[in-house]
Structure 1
């Protein structure tokens, strides 16, 4: 979703800059600054607000997709905070407005709010697709009811350990895939249908 959000933002800012007679070279710098600020700010925001222990326990995992605790292993890029990205973008826009485009800070903030809002929509859609945003429990007959297989806590009835034990699969991804597509687990799902059915918040 990041790619869609940044691509759409680039396109929107192109039309804004063209209409206002600002060079596209300055737009390209804005794009690079915004991408870097978003990614670094989101990651650092997550670490500062939610995992500050990483600064002394595992500093390499802050910006690299690895962890050294308990041993060196690949983790992927996980843990991004949108408010960290927002703070970083605002800070970078101060620099950009003074050194690159030579306009007041409110001028650039007024223009980037359009693609940033669009980006926020795509980020939230990505959260929804990854079952990271779960709404209130509802009944199955609601037209907005959805089943979130991965929406349970790690040790819950549909947590990774429980699902792997139930399906006898070696990885959580395989277990959830079997659980979602194999009809023999329909009864297992029915037991937890109320806890799985949710509406969009």
Structure 2
């Protein structure tokens, strides 16, 4: 049995200004994503410029932050929103949803596509490989903050989170960092190293993220104010992941089932 290390969620305190580890994780995700995409943009015939990479990261950041916050409130805390709509602005209380951030990024990429007259799926295929970096960093931020803990367990690596209770639990944040972060990044980065049909990279991302998230939900503690939403085991995270699995399969079919011949530059 392991003990949660009780890490201070505030990384740097500058007078009244608190810089939290969770915010630093977001910064790491965006900065790393920019660096990797800029490298690919400099490759011959990439179809991208470094300036466009800067803009797509900016658009993506807005989509993640705004969509993630709105999605969390709508998907996971809608009753509180109806009672107090200003909860949407209370970001200091925490609460971000990947699925909301995903929808936010989709909207942001549509706006980016209109500005640069690019096909939105080429943009998504180009950017999808760096998304797991942000996901993995975010889950490390969850672990540092001691939030989104796992269910109780008797496995040898079970971890006690004293601020929750004295029961050993799955460190599900680390599972998600390993799967949604490290594993998914490796799959997508190496897959996208060669030209692939349009939709293929985005489809692979949606499919594997949905599978990984659906699986980890079996050991992650459901949100207390929601609990199980069906069958006494199905969680909100699993319900939101099923459409991603379906979309991933559809996109892969469009990429390879009809051999559309469109090649991405990633």
Tell me whether 1:120 sits opposite 2:135 in the alignment: yes
- Deviation of 1:126 after TM superposition, in Å, equals 1.9
Q: Which residue pairs with 1:46 in the alignment?
A: 72
| Aligned position for 2:160 | 147
Deviation (angstroms), 1:62: 0.7
Which runs of structure 1 show a deviation greater than 3 angstroms over 4 or more consecutive aligned residues? 53-56, 197-201
- Tell me by how many angstroms 1:43 deviates: 0.4
1:83 to 99, 102, 106: 99
CA contact (8 A) 2:153 2:170 kept: yes
> What's the secondary structure of 1:123's corresponding residue?
helix
How much does 1:55 deviate?
Answer: 4.1
Q: Write the deviation string for residues 2-59 of structure 1: whole angstroms up to 9, x where unpaired.
A: 1111111111111122222522222111111111110000000011112223444222
Please give the TM-score of this superposition, normalised by the length of structure 2: 0.50
Q: 1:135 to 1:54 in 2, by over 3 A?
A: closer
Q: Distance in 2 between matches of 1:62 and 1:2?
A: 19
Determine the C-alpha separation between the residues in 1 that align with 2:170 and 2:63: 34
Does the CA contact (< 8 Å) of 2:67 and 2:102 recur in 1? yes
Equivalence for 2:62 = 36
* Offset of residue 60 of structure 1: 2.3
Conserved 8 A contact 1:137-1:199: no
| 1:167 alignment partner in structure 2 | none
1:61-80 equivalence runs, <5 A = 61-65=87-91, 76-80=92-96
What residue in structure 1 maps to residue 49 of structure 2?
A: 23
Q: Specify whether residues 199 and 56 from structure 1 end up closer, same or farther in structure 2 by C-alpha distance, changes over 3 A only.
A: closer
Please give the alpha-carbon distance, in whole angstroms, between the structure 2 residues aligned to 1:146 and 1:54: 31
> Which of 149, 168, 171 is the equivalent residue of 1:133?
149
Alignment correspondent of 2:108: 92
5+ residue gaps, structure 1: 66-75, 153-157, 159-191
Q: How far apart in 2 are the matches of 1:93 and 1:42?
A: 15
C-alpha offsets along residues 168-190 of structure 1, whole Å, 9 cap, x if unaligned?
Answer: xxxxxxxxxxxxxxxxxxxxxxx
Aligned-residue offset at 1:125: 2.1
Query: Is the Cα contact below 8 Å between 1:10 and 1:31 reproduced in 2?
Result: yes
Question: Structure 2: any 5+ residue segments left out of the alignment?
Answer: 1-24, 176-266
**Aligned counterpart, 1:110:** 125
- Match of 2:37? 13
* CA drift at 1:198: 3.6
